[in-house]
Amino acid sequence: MPPAETPDILLIRQTRPDVAERLAERFRLHRMEEVPDRAAFLDTVGPRIRALAVGAMCPIDAALFDRLPRLEIVASFGVGYDTIDVGEAHRRGIVVTHTPDVLSDEVADLALGLLLATLRRIPQADRYLRAGRWRERSFPLTTSLRERRVGILGLGRIGRAIARRLEGFGVTIAYHGRTPQDGVPYAYYDSLLGLARAVDTLIVAAPGGPGTNGIVDAGVLAALGADGIVVNIARGSVIDEAALIAALQSGTILGAGLDVFENEPHVPQALIDLEQTVLLPHVGSGSHHTRAAMGRLLTDNLFSWFDGKGPVTPVPETPWKGRR
């Protein structure tokens, strides 16, 4: 049992058992998921909580901050943090951390796998064989990655890792983001529509949030053309899902590979019914190796904070200029 002076930490949504175990060795750990009455629990425990450890996609807002007057730090499990009100956290002097870098390679690997699966219709071919249809006739020919022009929306850590992998396939690579990146050999487009007009394959690697909500819209999809392929390993909110469904149904684009959706875990039946989609249940970082690394980084941020060394990986909206 931790001593009385040990900081109180609240775990909201289980991440991994080893994360909870590691936190419990150092802190007085409280678990939101174990309480039947959240309001009563926060009335009792909230005034003591100094840190939050949160699973991916957990809504963290001003209303919760109001219940935690001593809160100092929010440590999030994942690279994306669009469900956390970082502006409000900053206004209140609350540090927010995430787990970048340790998952970039894993997500980039999956992006390439999803791209190839969509182009070459790998899941469809697997189903074809299992249904015994190969004995009747060969599987239909598919499109190819050969001679494709690939655009990346968001050339951050994951976007750059995707681009490096694409280089080995000999395709043309271009990108769009808020600003051009120094030291990269890829063509930059200052508008997403301009990028879409220049390519036939769009990989979405941009963060979620108000600034990117629905930016892959009907116009962008139409600009990709009838051979267009969309792959999204970022956030479902970045794509106008209704527009994507309409573009696929009408043949405006050729196919889509999606690891993320607008209202997870609920996936529109229209997407499921389409034969030209490859759909995954948000598994971009979902390997034992990478999730363990993410868990270690989450706990390292909390240990470092309470050791007086500051956060290890604060989000950009949480500037950190040195020790506390």
Active site annotation includes 146: no
Q: Which residues pair with 97 in a beta bridge?
A: 75, 314
Return the structure tokens found at 70.
Answer: 């001593």
One of 30, 235, 262, 291 is an active-site residue; which one? 235
The answer to whether residues 254 and 227 touch, using CB atoms and an 8 Å cutoff, is yes
Q: In angstroms, what CA-CA distances link 322 with 10, 310, 312, 319?
A: 25, 7, 11, 10
Report the SS3 class of residue 178. coil
One of 264, 289, 317, 324 is an active-site residue; which one? 264
Active site annotation includes 282: yes
Active site annotation includes 262: no
Angle between helices 157-167 and 104-120 (to 10 degrees): 50
Report the C-alpha gap between 2 and 24 in whole angstroms: 8
Of residues 209, 275, 258, 266, the one with CA closest to residue 59: 209
By residue count, the chain amounts to 324
Of residues 116, 121, 112, the one with CA closest to residue 274: 121
Report the C-alpha gap between 141 and 144 in whole angstroms: 9
Query: CB under 8 Å to 208, separation ≥6 — which residues?
Result: 80, 82, 234, 235, 236, 237, 238
One of 13, 120, 157, 282 is an active-site residue; which one? 282
Report the C-alpha gap between 77 and 68 in whole angstroms: 20
Of residues 50, 57, 18, 8, the one with CA closest to residue 298: 18
Return the structure tokens found at 95.
Answer: 């540090």
Examine residue 265 and say whether the peptide bond preceding it is cis (omega within 30 degrees of 0): yes
| Residues involved in catalysis | 235, 264, 282
